[in-house]
Amino acid sequence: MNETVLLVGCGKMGGALLRRWLERDVDAGHVYIVDPEEESRSLAHDLGISCSEAVETLPRDVAPAVVVFAVKPQITDDVVPAYAEFVGPGTVFLSIAAGRPIAYFEDRLGEDAAVVRAMPNTPAAVGRGISVACANRHVTGDGRATCNELLAAVGEVAWVEDEGLLDAVTATSGSGPAYVFLLIEYLAEAGTEAGLPSGLAMQLARATVAGAGELARQSGETPSELRRNVTSPGGTTAAALEVLMADDGMGQLLTRAVAEATRRSRELAG
Per-residue confidence (pLDDT) for residue 152, from 0 to 100: 95
**Rounded-to-integer distance, Cα 45 and Cα 176, Å:** 33
Helix (H, G, I), strand (E, B) or coil at 169: helix
**Residues 195, 118 share a domain:** no
**Rounded-to-integer distance, Cα 240 and Cα 41, Å:** 50
Helix (H, G, I), strand (E, B) or coil at 151: helix
Longest dimension (CA), the chain: 71
Convert the pLDDT of each residue in 214-247 to its tens digit: 999 999 999 999 999 999 999 999 999 999 999 9
Residue 82 pLDDT greater than 70, yes or no: yes
Q: Would 19 be classed as within a structural domain?
A: yes
Residue 69 pLDDT greater than 70, yes or no: yes
CATH number at residue 218: 1.10.3730.10
Domains identified in the chain, total number: 2
Convert the pLDDT of each residue in 87-98 to its tens digit: 999 999 999 998
CB 93 within 8 A of CB 69: yes
User: Is beta strand 114-119 parallel, antiparallel or unpaired with respect to 129-135?
Assistant: antiparallel
CATH number at residue 20: 3.40.50.720
**Among residues 133, 168, 167, which one has the least CA distance to residue 152?**
133
DSSP 35-58: -S-HHHHHHHHHTT-EEESSGGGS
Rounded to two decimals, what is the model's pTM? Answer: 0.90
Per-residue confidence (pLDDT) for residue 1, from 0 to 100: 65
Convert the pLDDT of each residue in 124-150 to its tens digit: 999 999 999 999 999 999 999 999 999
Q: Would 171 be classed as within a structural domain?
A: no
